[in-house]
Chains A and B, each alone.
Chain A
């Protein structure tokens, strides 16, 4: 018999970015709230303190901040014909752990999607016709538009403290910003960051080629900053320890710097760590949730936490898993196309070029996670899908984000990976390499989905989630197109050596090397209950008092890092709860 806690108005599952946003906004409504966090508590001091935090072996290689597979993992296969095996050693993606979640260890790249990406199916069919959509691609529109989300993007950028330069303010194109971005009602809250030498070289090459370079939008403070909650950031010192690390300097945008201390002051909010939610409990009629059952690690027992509203704000994959286990929708069947949970799992299609310059010193130890100059000249709204033969696009970026010695020693192909030859290579090339990355869109497909594994169970005896995922021709063609455009630009910079890394047509997904933690979809937004798991307010179609946050809502992945859309959607959802749901709890669509 599970222990039962006192009922709350709201229970929040996972205290990362979106859980913190839901917490503070709903606490301000006077609701009584508890947040349940699977991991440990963590704060800038002492948990991220200098110099302990900038330990590449501990955090960069041994992944101290990440979810342990023994704690929670999933199984992976490439298609329905394979048997999925557990992801026992973190590789391709790195779900975080603890208070602040992935918001503590991200790189700080904060993008908004392009307006066309929010209505991609309509954009494609209206511009080129439905016939260009490949077989097996679940191309969709988000049931909410860029224009509707714009105020929420702006607000999230103020809360998160983003540095950048606007390229489009209310339709007016501004020099030095991104001319291809969606309109902004205001400029970024902080000035853009400074350029490192590689990004300057890239900038100059892009200008010479007639492209439109701009500084990457960074959740890395360029000045001291105070956000709308009165929370603070300090200016970044370019130490280069962002991704996989917590920031010791209050410079990286995170729940810790943007929200948590303000939230903790509120007497109607509490949070419990080491509390892993096992399932959402549904009422007998299945139309609402009654609360959640969680595992109290300290007490080693199950606890039932009753609540009127359940906010699912764990990592996208864990949200989907929880929803599958709780019956918050029907599991997606890729053969019939019926069911919604687990549908449209998507990822990111990336590639890049590395160049070596004997006479340039790039000082790679100077940088930050969102450093660099970007172009959007080959992005979704710039590509002629009909002529190019794919749907999608990417943004390019060049700028050192770290010079960490274990994992970031780019060497020309053919250099020995150990011994005297390796030492010679390092001696010759360390600090002389720069790269350009292509960060590309990833569409949704019938093949790529999530469901419950028939074989493997987790430490609580629950079926693990199973990921079925492989690269698809459309996205690989997009990637090859980026290669065909990037190599000439790189060549124009006259490197002594250069080498490319783009997946070829026919490439198979390999879960071992790190790629990105932009795992999206699985509980997607939809116009109707038959197409997705949540409605336009991220309210589950199944139970109207359950709301799902995060990138699991993405209909297909955009070409950008997901945090800007995740943050904007979180404020959009919370606003709907505040202004529409609380006074009259019901399905909002």
Chain B
């Protein structure tokens, strides 16, 4: 009996020691994948470009706040995480950080004092970044960005998520890739695209599903669920390849146009993707946007024709006629019989002027609704939100028009929006379940409090 107790006591002591070690023994920082020469210097502009590719501004800038000075609320399933100040201010920013400190944050998710960053910071993906890009980015942040004194709100999540040491265990599960980047070797262009998508672009953070531990399920090409569709803030981030992907029919050129300008002949970027286009993708070179597009298309087997540059496409662009899948709906809307379903009538009265009876919209300006991933997504909040509150596509260098779709919250009741949304989800061959008035009421209430 005493022996058993002694063993138990020893086990408890061991456990406590292990727990204390787990909590207090500093995390080993991952060593760089490549050693750079001591006198290595980034090319002029390289660091800024890496920052654009990594979309740092989108999260690390508060609405109406100074750029990179932090303070933006990032909604997560665990609660609100406040982005930090990454200007080189010594007290409130990262001015006191060494490059090794910075690299540890970027690839291990560990701050200089050893505390774990919440994985809202996508170090799962930034781990794939090259040493050169990390150095260039550090150099840019420390020497080219003006320090801004801005103490941001401390993130304080509820128990148990306030115990940051727990992330150490999470990291054992989540950081199964990297550090460093492994090209698939499809072509030089696609490899470059792969690097941008997997590393700085951190596309998987939204477009890959999450596993049971909320880690990205699919971080690199070859992973089963890589970019197979995820969710962000209640919005569906569509699958970027595969059987069910609505992007499957896009050419590499069309995909690249979408990335660079937030719009193409099929669709338009709004919501979170609009921010990505606004703060990151529009600032990248044509070659890089084409490379990412080629890589994404290559995931379906063949990138097809890879254009050398993005065409300006200035001039007229006729809209597409109804196709076989959309013919029945187009005919029903054209005939406009008084007995047609209410959703169809609402569509005619409110939507068809721009999106047409074909559901094909007009190239680069009015998105297609047929086969549109936002229309048919499992999460209905985005569709309902767009009908109620409208949407907008940011102004970009190549397509400067800030294209705004108006909302219909003041014109359509919850029942009507539900009828309309359900119609859209079943029209032109779309095949998604109906939306209820209660779903609409929820989204309407949310918008009212935001």
- Does A423 lie at the interface of the complex (its beta carbon under 8 Å from any beta carbon of B)? no
Docked-complex contact B316 and A225, CB < 8 angstroms: yes
Docked-complex contact B317 and A49, CB < 8 angstroms: no
- Of A51, A237, A264, which is within 8 A of B411 by CB? A51
- Does B318 lie at the interface of the complex (its beta carbon under 8 Å from any beta carbon of A)? yes
| In the complex, chain A residues whose CB is within 8 Å of the CB of B328 | none
- Does B315 lie at the interface of the complex (its beta carbon under 8 Å from any beta carbon of A)? yes
Docked-complex contact A262 and B400, CB < 8 angstroms: yes
- Does B395 lie at the interface of the complex (its beta carbon under 8 Å from any beta carbon of A)? yes
Contact string, A216-246, partner B, CB cutoff 8 A, digits 1/0? Answer: 0000001111111111111101010000000
Docked-complex contact A261 and B401, CB < 8 angstroms: yes
Bound complex: CA of A230 vs CA of B402, how far in Å?
11
Docked-complex contact A231 and B316, CB < 8 angstroms: no
Query: Whole-angstrom distance from the CB of A239 to the nearest CB of chain B?
Result: 7
| In the complex, chain A residues whose CB is within 8 Å of the CB of B249 | none
- Of A158, A190, A191, A234, which is within 8 A of B365 by CB? A234
Bound complex: CA of A428 vs CA of B403, how far in Å?
43
Docked-complex contact A191 and B411, CB < 8 angstroms: no
Docked-complex contact A249 and B354, CB < 8 angstroms: yes
| In the complex, chain A residues whose CB is within 8 Å of the CB of B442 | none
Bound complex: CA of A390 vs CA of B216, how far in Å?
81
- Does A422 lie at the interface of the complex (its beta carbon under 8 Å from any beta carbon of B)? no
- Does A81 lie at the interface of the complex (its beta carbon under 8 Å from any beta carbon of B)? no
- Does A250 lie at the interface of the complex (its beta carbon under 8 Å from any beta carbon of B)? yes
- Does B379 lie at the interface of the complex (its beta carbon under 8 Å from any beta carbon of A)? no
Asked whether A227 and B366 contact (CB < 8 A) given A45-B390, A232-B399, A261-B401, the answer is: no
Docked-complex contact A50 and B365, CB < 8 angstroms: no
- Does B364 lie at the interface of the complex (its beta carbon under 8 Å from any beta carbon of A)? yes
Asked whether A235 and B319 contact (CB < 8 A) given A227-B314, A230-B314, A250-B365, the answer is: yes
Docked-complex contact B365 and A233, CB < 8 angstroms: yes
- Does A488 lie at the interface of the complex (its beta carbon under 8 Å from any beta carbon of B)? no
- Does A44 lie at the interface of the complex (its beta carbon under 8 Å from any beta carbon of B)? yes
- Of B317, B397, B411, which is within 8 A of A225 by CB? B317
Docked-complex contact A226 and B317, CB < 8 angstroms: yes
Contact string, A42-82, partner B, CB cutoff 8 A, digits 1/0? Answer: 01111001110000000000000000000000000000000
Query: Whole-angstrom distance from the CB of A228 to the nearest CB of chain B?
Result: 6
- Does A485 lie at the interface of the complex (its beta carbon under 8 Å from any beta carbon of B)? no
- Of B319, B350, B400, B406, which is within 8 A of A265 by CB? B400
- Does B75 lie at the interface of the complex (its beta carbon under 8 Å from any beta carbon of A)? no
Query: Whole-angstrom distance from the CB of B314 to the nearest CB of chain A?
Result: 5
Task: Closest B residue to A248 by CB, please name it.
Answer: B406
Bound complex: CA of A51 vs CA of B353, how far in Å?
12
Contact string, A251-269, partner B, CB cutoff 8 A, digits 1/0? Answer: 0000001000110110000
Query: Whole-angstrom distance from the CB of A279 to the nearest CB of chain B?
Result: 34
Bound complex: CA of A472 vs CA of B362, how far in Å?
49
Interface size on A, residues (CB 8 A): 35
- Does A342 lie at the interface of the complex (its beta carbon under 8 Å from any beta carbon of B)? no
- Does B429 lie at the interface of the complex (its beta carbon under 8 Å from any beta carbon of A)? no
Task: Closest A residue to B349 by CB, please name it.
Answer: A51
Docked-complex contact B312 and A230, CB < 8 angstroms: yes
| In the complex, chain B residues whose CB is within 8 Å of the CB of A233 | 365
Query: Whole-angstrom distance from the CB of B365 to the nearest CB of chain A?
Result: 4
Asked whether A222 and B400 contact (CB < 8 A) given A45-B405, A233-B365, A249-B354, the answer is: no
- Of A45, A51, A249, A265, which is within 8 A of B395 by CB? A265
Docked-complex contact B353 and A222, CB < 8 angstroms: no
- Does A189 lie at the interface of the complex (its beta carbon under 8 Å from any beta carbon of B)? yes
Q: Majority SS of interface residues in chain B?
A: loop
Bound complex: CA of A108 vs CA of B405, how far in Å?
23
| In the complex, chain A residues whose CB is within 8 Å of the CB of B352 | 237
Task: Closest A residue to B365 by CB, please name it.
Answer: A234
Task: Closest B residue to A163 by CB, please name it.
Answer: B316
- Does B184 lie at the interface of the complex (its beta carbon under 8 Å from any beta carbon of A)? no
| In the complex, chain A residues whose CB is within 8 Å of the CB of B13 | none
Docked-complex contact A50 and B319, CB < 8 angstroms: no
Bound complex: CA of A44 vs CA of B365, how far in Å?
13
Query: Whole-angstrom distance from the CB of A37 to the nearest CB of chain B?
Result: 18
Bound complex: CA of A270 vs CA of B80, how far in Å?
37
Docked-complex contact A234 and B366, CB < 8 angstroms: yes
- Does B398 lie at the interface of the complex (its beta carbon under 8 Å from any beta carbon of A)? yes
| In the complex, chain A residues whose CB is within 8 Å of the CB of B405 | 45
| In the complex, chain A residues whose CB is within 8 Å of the CB of B365 | 224, 232-234, 250
Chain B 348-363 residues near chain A, CB threshold 8 A: 350, 352-354, 362-363
Docked-complex contact A226 and B403, CB < 8 angstroms: no
- Of B315, B354, B395, which is within 8 A of A226 by CB? B315
Docked-complex contact B317 and A261, CB < 8 angstroms: no
- Of A189, A223, A230, A250, which is within 8 A of B399 by CB? A230
Bound complex: CA of A265 vs CA of B400, how far in Å?
8
Query: Whole-angstrom distance from the CB of A171 to the nearest CB of chain B?
Result: 24
- Does B12 lie at the interface of the complex (its beta carbon under 8 Å from any beta carbon of A)? no
Docked-complex contact B390 and A226, CB < 8 angstroms: no
| In the complex, chain A residues whose CB is within 8 Å of the CB of B401 | 230-232, 250, 257, 261-262
Query: Whole-angstrom distance from the CB of A106 to the nearest CB of chain B?
Result: 20
Docked-complex contact A224 and B362, CB < 8 angstroms: yes
Asked whether A45 and B404 contact (CB < 8 A) given A226-B313, A226-B315, A235-B319, the answer is: yes
Bound complex: CA of A229 vs CA of B312, how far in Å?
10
Bound complex: CA of A264 vs CA of B395, how far in Å?
10
Bound complex: CA of A233 vs CA of B314, how far in Å?
11
Bound complex: CA of A264 vs CA of B403, how far in Å?
14
- Of B316, B318, B353, which is within 8 A of A189 by CB? B316
Bound complex: CA of A51 vs CA of B319, how far in Å?
24
Docked-complex contact B406 and A50, CB < 8 angstroms: yes
Asked whether A223 and B411 contact (CB < 8 A) given A230-B399, A234-B366, the answer is: no
Contact string, B379-398, partner A, CB cutoff 8 A, digits 1/0? Answer: 00000000000101001011
Residue positions of A touching B, CB distance < 8 A: 43-46, 49-51, 158, 189-191, 222-235, 237, 239, 248-250, 257, 261-262, 264-265
Residue positions of B touching A, CB distance < 8 A: 312-319, 350, 352-354, 362-366, 390, 392, 395, 397-406, 411
**Selected A-B contacts with CB under 8 Å, 26 pairs:** A43-B402, A44-B404, A45-B392, A50-B350, A50-B353, A51-B411, A158-B314, A191-B318, A223-B316, A223-B317, A223-B319, A224-B318, A224-B363, A226-B313, A226-B364, A230-B397, A230-B400, A231-B400, A232-B364, A233-B365, A237-B353, A249-B353, A257-B401, A261-B400, A262-B401, A265-B397
Extra pairs beyond A43-B402, A224-B362, A262-B401 (19, CB < 8 Å): A43-B404, A44-B404, A45-B406, A50-B353, A223-B317, A224-B318, A226-B317, A226-B364, A231-B400, A232-B399, A232-B403, A233-B365, A234-B362, A235-B319, A248-B406, A249-B354, A250-B365, A261-B400, A264-B400
